[in-house]
Amino acid sequence: MTEIVSLDWLALTVFVPLLGAVLSFLVPRIAPQIGLMTLALAGLCVTMLALQVIPGGPVIVALGGWGAPLGLDLRADGLAIIMLGMNVLVGGFVSLGALDTFSARHAGEESARMRRYFWPLWLLLLCGLNGAYLSTDIFNLYVMIEVIALAAIGLTVLTGRLDAMRAGLEYMFASMLGALLFLMAVGLAYLQAGRLDFAGLAVHAGEPAMMLAFALMLVGLALKTALFPLHFWLPNAHASASAPASALLSGLVLKASLYILLRFWVEIFGPGERIGMLVGAMGTGAIIWGSVQALRTQRLKLLVAWSTVAQIGLICVAFALAGTIGAQTAWQGAVLLMVAHAVAKAAMFLAAGRIAQETGHDRIADLDRSHLRPTLAQFAFALAAISLIGLPPSAGFAGKWLLMEGAMRAGAWIWVVVAMAGTLFSVAYLSRPLIGFLRFDRAPDPVGEHHGWAIADAPPLMLAVIAVISGLVAVQIIGVISIGAPFGAVP
Amino acid sequence: MEFTLLPLAILFTSLGIVPLLFALPERSARLRTTINLTAAAIKVGLVAWLSWRVSQGTIYGVGFEVLPGLAFKLQADPLAILFIALSSILWLITTIYSVGYLEKGPHRARFFGFFSLCVAATVGIAMAGNLFTFLLFYELLTIATYPLVIHRGTAEALRAGRIYLIYTLAGGLVLLVGTLWLWVMAGGTDFAAGGMMADIAAASPVQATMLFVVLIAGLGVKAALVPFHAWLPIAMVAPAPVSALLHAVAVVKAGAFGIMRVVYEVFGINVAVDLGVTLPLAIAAGITIIYGSLRALTQDDIKKRLAYSTVSQVSYITLGVALANPIAAIGALAHLIHQGLMKITMFMAAGNLAEGLGVKTVSGMNGVGRRMPGTMLAFTLAALAMIGLPPLAGFVSKWYLASGGLDAGQGWVIALLLGSSLLNAAYFLPMLHRAWFVDAGDASAARPVGRRIGWMLSAPPLVTAALVLIAGGLANAPFSPLEWTRFIVAIEYRE
């Protein structure tokens, strides 16, 4: 009996969004309603699944009765639950934000097209993301990666503007190359091991062919997750998309490839310290380069996009600590940082979108408390910045604390310094728009009464508030992450 | 017996009204003032009750786990009460002053929201039961004070705010690393009399010393220890009530208070002495005392002169802690309160001069005593107390610091305090001289250039000046700051 129940919620987590995508494509008139309903149902699925996993441990389902080594095992452990929760939480609020962005109020052909295609693409994306977090074999993962890429590219070019098309093309090339490398690795691994499931592959870890396969996967996933120096496609793609699309791309899409890399690292390959150092060094490069660019850019959305490059780099520092006594703590920190970044960055992109909508521009130099000031959106942006910088009590603080604690336990002070540098950099570039929000000496009109806020400010504000206070439940989140011991047994 | 509700209630009186204040429309000034004053008054009442109960031996505490092994923990020990009492009383007074000061000014909703948040952070810092919780509120304080510093929103204010932010966030980051290191090294961050570093300091003194340096450096930024003091005079661009609160209670005191906690309750005074870190700290404090005073001498801007005076005066607290002597410790703790009372008086008076007469420089102070007698009376009392004239509050702290120095066998402290007092006199007396004994001279200075100073602006400095008089004159009465500090020192030095 329990098995039947478990099958339902686990599989439904993937199939409900797929169904929603098809329906919203077929009946575009009520696509927003379908979208919200799908999110609500997906949220229900994840909640039910969590209620099974949290007391009872990991749940495994063999789709169509095809178990490992051949088939389609889906598995939900605590880590997967957290990532799924992140999907529906961030996705839910972004959907609410999208209601306004793509509402029929905005006339025009462009707006109509965006309304038509946003919901199918986003729900398809959700299907791929949920599937990726539940997959236990690498071919299945490849399929999910392609689904994600397809939907994500569609979301990038949704506005149909020239810069978006150009950025989307670049994104597509990077994404296809990444997928190709991944597919080659899948073939290589299958030839070597004769199996595709994580457990079966792990037996062969360390063999030369497997190491080659891992190298291919590492490059492919680094491309998709935009890890420096393979980040070239990200800033333009994320900055040119519409605000809800950017929020999804930056908040959720990047996390999938990062998560897959993390799973492979821990559960299959265990590639050793030197490669860990390499990824850590790439992360350091990302922090520096992403921050420098964020300091230089003149556009708010580009600043937010470059900050993503830097933040991804910070999360990747955890890979450098794999295999040390601080590894467990550092992985937990990395997962918390992933979730924190998803929530805060989605809030920030939505807020940036609202600011641009109200003021009519997104030039950092011209941001001030003009009579048009979108107070609540600016407030949400500031709260999101607090989490991204890692100030308490945000989830970003908790994640950074654990990451640095892991580094310190391992005696690897260099990574403590890197994390500190990342923090200082983030203060420097995020304070650029924040300071603008507070200045009013240039405003031509007297600034008095609050106005310039709308109900559309609620989604970014709610996300930002969640980002700031969720650090207070970090210990509970970590408790969930540890279910099924995704990072090995507690030493 | 443990009671949890009261500390939370005290925190909530200032934290809970923050969303309310932000949400209120700009024009609802009366309602905003009512909320502010009610909350502040309730808090004073709660704190009075709390101090009574704690002095009777009741223990208050509350905590829950935030990160594995690390708890958010509030506790109301006597040291915490000392700081909360200061902040709650001065919050009430400064709120009245701010309402008068910002009358019809822009962005009052924002101002009072962050003002309350700032006070909430101070209360959290005071009641933090471990260094981890202290850190949370220490960072919150940075976030809450930044919008206050740049409240005027001018390019100059923004530039000053940027420098302020860089210093305080960098300091916070260093403190974070120190806290983390303490946690990794000692497996806990709890504050407890006698500290918890005895074993570690014995096993690896070098690491323990480095940890001490990191923690003090992180705290030293807010405490404005030289060479981390540069933000303080620059932050003078803030409105007068903000400067008053920043200097008297919030930011610099948070740093000094943190140094106290680290020396007494993380390391333990005996361990710190054995490590040999107290003397260098005392010397650093001594240098800061002299340096601040010397710089104050040459400032013509009144607020800048007061700011450098703060740099100097706050280090009295650090000095008293670092002398590792119970008598000096009494002086340090008493000075935490006394300096707050004296400095807030002077800043409110300076604000009145600037608002009412347009006087912002020392050279422009000629004859202001006759034009604003009440305000200048308060200023004079506070200045004389700073110099150390008996029986005012500043004399009491200096007396205990000096005797503590002698008792600890550190004779140089006497010379230092004498030198500092002479310098205090050298930069305060000319101000008093100009105010009372020099004629304004030209007729133009006689007509008012500013606005009318209502009771909300003129009364608060007089009240705090009266407190300066009382704290000094009745230093031996029960529940005076001095008596309370004796109670604390008896606990810290019990080991």
Q: Which residues of B touch A441 (CB under 8 A)?
A: 153-155
Cβ-nearest to B153 among A402, A439, A474: A439
Q: Which residues of B touch A398 (CB under 8 A)?
A: 66-67
- Sequence-ordered strand ranges (E) for B123-204: none
Name the β-bridge partners of A63. A72
Q: What number of H helices and E strands is found in chain A?
A: 19, 2
Angstrom CA distances, B232 to A115, A333, B98, B147, B346, stand at 53, 35, 20, 15, 16
| Residue A260 CB partners (closer than 8 Å, separation 6+) | A132, A141, A145, A221
Q: Is residue B368 included in any domain, yes or no?
A: yes
Q: What is the tens place of the pLDDT at every residue in A204-228?
A: 888 888 889 999 999 999 999 999 8
Cβ-nearest to B139 among A392, A438, A474: A392
B276 CB neighbour count, 10 Å cutoff: 10
pLDDT score, position B490 = 81
Residue B180 sits at the chain A interface (C-beta within 8 Å): yes
Inter-residue contact B359 to B353 (CB < 8 Å):
yes
Determine, for residues A405 and B176 on separate chains, whether the beta-carbon distance falls below 8 Å: no
3-state SS, one letter per residue, for B33-76: HHHHHHHHHHHHHHHHHHHHHHHCCCEEEEEEEEECCEEEEEEC
Determine, for residues B176 and A409 on separate chains, whether the beta-carbon distance falls below 8 Å: no
Mutation pick from A401, A409, A447, A449 vs chain B, by most beta carbons of B within 10 Å, is A401
Q: Is residue B208 included in any domain, yes or no?
A: no
Distance from C-alpha of B491 to C-alpha of B495, rounded to nearest angstrom: 8
Determine, for residues B109 and A450 on separate chains, whether the beta-carbon distance falls below 8 Å: yes
Inter-residue contact A411 to B207 (CB < 8 Å):
no
Residue A402 sits at the chain B interface (C-beta within 8 Å): yes
Tell me the shortest Cα–Cα distance from A450 to chain B, in angstroms: 7
Inter-residue contact B236 to B243 (CB < 8 Å):
yes
Q: Is residue A336 included in any domain, yes or no?
A: yes
Q: Which residues of B touch A445 (CB under 8 A)?
A: none
pLDDT band at A370 (very low <50, low <70, confident <90, very high): low
Determine, for residues B165 and A441 on separate chains, whether the beta-carbon distance falls below 8 Å: no
Triad B335, B338, B340: Cα angle to 5°: 105
pLDDT at position A7 over 60? no
Q: Which residues of B touch A402 (CB under 8 A)?
A: 67
Determine, for residues A408 and B154 on separate chains, whether the beta-carbon distance falls below 8 Å: no
Determine, for residues A472 and B66 on separate chains, whether the beta-carbon distance falls below 8 Å: yes
* 3-class DSSP assignment, residue B189: coil
Distance from C-alpha of A215 to C-alpha of B354, rounded to nearest angstrom: 68
Per-position pLDDT tens, chain B of length 495:
456 788 888 888 888 888 888 888 877 888 888 998 999 999 999 998 888 888 888 888 888 888 888 889 998 888 888 899 888 999 899 999 998 888 877 778 888 889 999 999 999 999 999 999 999 999 999 989 998 988 887 888 888 888 998 899 999 999 999 999 999 998 889 998 888 888 888 888 999 999 999 999 999 999 988 888 888 888 888 888 888 887 777 899 999 999 999 999 999 898 999 999 999 999 999 999 999 999 999 999 999 999 999 999 999 999 999 998 889 999 999 999 999 999 999 999 999 998 888 888 888 888 888 888 999 999 999 999 999 888 888 898 999 999 999 998 888 999 999 999 999 999 999 999 999 988 876 655 555 567 777 888 889 999 999 998 888 888 777 778 888 888 888 877 765
Q: Is residue B84 included in any domain, yes or no?
A: no
pLDDT band at A69 (very low <50, low <70, confident <90, very high): low
pLDDT score, position B248 = 72
pLDDT at position A450 over 50? no
Determine, for residues B106 and A447 on separate chains, whether the beta-carbon distance falls below 8 Å: yes
Distance from C-alpha of B254 to C-alpha of B84, rounded to nearest angstrom: 11
Mean pLDDT of A130-149: 92
Backbone angles phi, psi at B227, to 5 degrees: -100, 25
A247 CB neighbour count, 10 Å cutoff: 32
Tell me the shortest Cα–Cα distance from B350 to chain A, in angstroms: 25
Among chain A residues, CA nearest to B157: A439
Distance from C-alpha of B188 to C-alpha of B196, rounded to nearest angstrom: 8
How many independent structural domains does chain A possess? 1
Residue A441 sits at the chain B interface (C-beta within 8 Å): yes
Distance from C-alpha of A126 to C-alpha of A40, rounded to nearest angstrom: 12
Q: What is the tens place of the pLDDT at every residue in A297-346?
A: 999 999 999 999 999 999 999 999 988 888 899 999 999 999 999 999 99
Determine, for residues B180 and A449 on separate chains, whether the beta-carbon distance falls below 8 Å: no
How many independent structural domains does chain B possess? 1
Q: What is the mean pLDDT of chain A?
A: 87
Q: Is residue A483 included in any domain, yes or no?
A: yes
Burial (Cβ within 10 Å: 0-12, 13-18, ≥19) of residue B180: buried
B366 CB neighbour count, 10 Å cutoff: 18
A37 CB neighbour count, 10 Å cutoff: 15
Name the β-bridge partners of A59. A76
Q: Which residues of B touch A409 (CB under 8 A)?
A: 184
pLDDT at position A2 over 50? no
Determine, for residues A438 and B150 on separate chains, whether the beta-carbon distance falls below 8 Å: yes
Determine, for residues B143 and A391 on separate chains, whether the beta-carbon distance falls below 8 Å: yes
Among chain A residues, CA nearest to B180: A405
**Nearest C-alpha neighbor of B247 from the set B293, B289, B307, B158:** B307
pLDDT score, position B21 = 86
Tell me the shortest Cα–Cα distance from A283 to chain B, in angstroms: 20
Tell me the shortest Cα–Cα distance from A462 to chain B, in angstroms: 14
Domain boundaries, position B360: 277-495
Q: Is residue B342 included in any domain, yes or no?
A: yes
Q: Is residue A202 included in any domain, yes or no?
A: no
Cβ-nearest to A441 among B143, B155, B170: B155
Q: Is residue B291 included in any domain, yes or no?
A: yes
* 3-class DSSP assignment, residue A441: coil
Inter-residue contact B228 to B167 (CB < 8 Å):
yes
Per-residue DSSP letter, A120? H
- The dihedral region occupied by A226, where left means phi > 0, alpha psi between -120 and 50, and beta the remainder, is left
**Nearest C-alpha neighbor of A488 from the set A339, A323, A336:** A323
Determine, for residues A471 and B66 on separate chains, whether the beta-carbon distance falls below 8 Å: yes
Domain boundaries, position A372: 288-491
Q: Is residue A409 included in any domain, yes or no?
A: yes
Determine, for residues B26 and A449 on separate chains, whether the beta-carbon distance falls below 8 Å: yes
Among chain A residues, CA nearest to B170: A424
Backbone angles phi, psi at B361, to 5 degrees: -120, 160
* 3-class DSSP assignment, residue A4: helix
Q: Is residue B198 included in any domain, yes or no?
A: no
**Nearest C-alpha neighbor of A75 from the set A98, A94, A89, A57:** A57
- The dihedral region occupied by B107, where left means phi > 0, alpha psi between -120 and 50, and beta the remainder, is left
Among chain A residues, CA nearest to B137: A392
* 3-class DSSP assignment, residue A281: helix
pLDDT score, position B77 = 86
Q: Is residue A323 included in any domain, yes or no?
A: yes
**Omega of the bond leading into B391 within 30 degrees of 0 (cis):** yes
Residues 272-301 of A with CB under 8 A from B: none
Residue B25 sits at the chain A interface (C-beta within 8 Å): yes
Residues 50-109 of B with CB under 8 A from A: 65-68, 72, 106-107, 109
pLDDT band at A6 (very low <50, low <70, confident <90, very high): very low
Determine, for residues B183 and A405 on separate chains, whether the beta-carbon distance falls below 8 Å: yes
